[in-house]
Amino acid sequence: MLRRIISTIFLLSFGSVAVATVLPDDRTDVMYHLYDGGGVQIDGPSVLVRKKVGKSVSLIGNYYVDMISSASIDVVTTASPYTEERKQWSLGADYLRGNTTMRVNYTSSVESDYDAETFAFSVSQDMFGALTTLTLGYALGDDVVGRSDDPDFMRHLDKQMFSVGVSQILTKNLITQLNFETMTEEGFLNNPYRSVRYADPGSALGYSFEPELYPNTRTSNAVGLRARYFLPYRAAIEGEYRYFVDTWDIEGHTGSLTYIHPMGDFTFTGKFRYHNQTGASFYRDLFSRSQATNFRGRDKEISPLTSYTVKLKAAYEFLNDDGNKWGFFKRASVTASIHLLHIDYDEFSDLTALAPIGSEPLYQLDADIFQVFVSFWY
């Protein structure tokens, strides 16, 4: 099952900061994506189209598909491998009036056991000769959680997100962004398929499983700072830091460094990203007994972990603004990228090793993420 994360992303997407009082370029992207790691394969297409209507409105539409084949560590220890498909579409509009841009967006995501709808609105205002852009955002999410093996199972999850963002030009070579976002969720927050592990002397393995049980509410705050600098030669470097904290006692630090280097019609990008987080207060790799605490979780995503990502990306502009127009296209490029993701879990044991209880090795995840997309500007 694909969880609430899908709609969460769309809530968060409205915390982004615009840079100037102009509408985005008319553009179409056609992408193929592939995630391969930890026994999970997800691939599919994504098509994004943006087009101006008149001088003050820009419309955007996106259609996205995930085709999932999963035999992950969570699935093989407590359930059976599965395949699934998720389809998602979104429609939005930007309205420009003076130095103000208003954005609305609706997103719908549908899969066999999880439906999500998100409504979002934001306002951006340019100030001080367009040196500063202030963005305020609000989003509302309504999710319905089901179970593939129980047609009568249905739970709701409501979400709200508030964001404030400031984009600031500091020098001729330096631009910065500061984003603050707070999100509240209320409803069914755990995964209906996942289980926690507890010590059970009566079991041959020494442990058994029971369904996880999460709190019904979660509120999180995140503040992020980004800065991009134009180097003395034609290249750019970007640094980013994010601090995250929530009411489940997860505290996270995320940092990254990116280098962008154009070379003729090519643009190469390299990035290193680091993330470290503490675990949720109700997370345990092994509970002392059945129903040991009021809330119980063993999802590795809410466990203490450290992740590392190396990204390599190359873009080739095969049609550009120098007069070589191709039909009504002004520019066109093809881009390929790979992300190499490695996660070390501090308190999540690999039960597939079948080691004696208490001496299981810690799990590690390696995943390769590929993206190839063609972009057209018109």
Contacting other proteins within 187-206 (CB under 8 A): 191, 193-194
Candidate segments 60-68, 151-159, 284-292, 346-354, binder of other proteins by CB under 8 A: 60-68
- CB crowding 82-101: b at 16 or more within 10 Å, else e: eebebebebebebebeeeeb
If one asks whether residue 215 binds other proteins (CB under 8 A), the answer comes out as no
Q: For the CB of residue 286, give the shortest distance to other proteins in the complex, in Å.
A: 19
Q: For the CB of residue 202, give the shortest distance to other proteins in the complex, in Å.
A: 28
| Contact criterion met (CB below 8 Å) for 210 and 297 | no
Q: Which of residues 135-154 bind other proteins (CB under 8 A)?
A: none
Q: Does residue 151 come out as left (phi exceeding 0), alpha (psi in the -120 to 50 range) or beta?
A: alpha
If one asks whether residue 375 binds other proteins (CB under 8 A), the answer comes out as yes
If one asks whether residue 29 binds other proteins (CB under 8 A), the answer comes out as yes
Candidate segments 62-70, 93-101, 199-207, 322-330, binder of other proteins by CB under 8 A: 62-70
Is residue 257 classed as helix, strand or coil in its secondary structure? Answer: strand
| Contact criterion met (CB below 8 Å) for 291 and 210 | yes
If one asks whether residue 177 binds other proteins (CB under 8 A), the answer comes out as yes
Among 23, 35, 101, 214, binds other proteins (CB under 8 A): 35
If one asks whether residue 216 binds other proteins (CB under 8 A), the answer comes out as no
Of 88, 66, 91, 69, the residue nearest 80 (C-alpha)? 69
Q: For the CB of residue 174, give the shortest distance to other proteins in the complex, in Å.
A: 8
Sign of the alpha-carbon torsion through 70, 73, 74, 77? positive
Q: For the CB of residue 183, give the shortest distance to other proteins in the complex, in Å.
A: 6
If one asks whether residue 166 binds other proteins (CB under 8 A), the answer comes out as yes
- CB crowding 30-48: b at 16 or more within 10 Å, else e: ebebebebbbbebebebeb
Length of the chain (residues): 378
Of 358, 182, 209, 201, the residue nearest 298 (C-alpha)? 209
Q: For the CB of residue 42, give the shortest distance to other proteins in the complex, in Å.
A: 5
Among 9, 53, 57, 353, binds other proteins (CB under 8 A): 9
Among 89, 106, 243, 378, binds other proteins (CB under 8 A): 243
Q: For the CB of residue 355, give the shortest distance to other proteins in the complex, in Å.
A: 23
Q: Which of residues 277-336 bind other proteins (CB under 8 A)?
A: 277, 279-280, 301-303, 305, 307, 335
117 contact partners, CB below 8 Å, separation of at least 6: 7, 106, 107, 108, 109, 141, 142, 143
Q: For the CB of residue 228, give the shortest distance to other proteins in the complex, in Å.
A: 6
Q: For the CB of residue 126, give the shortest distance to other proteins in the complex, in Å.
A: 11
Q: How far is it, in rounded angstroms, from Cα 122 to Cα 81?
A: 40
| Contact criterion met (CB below 8 Å) for 107 and 90 | yes
Cβ proximity to other proteins: between 62 and 293 the closer is 62
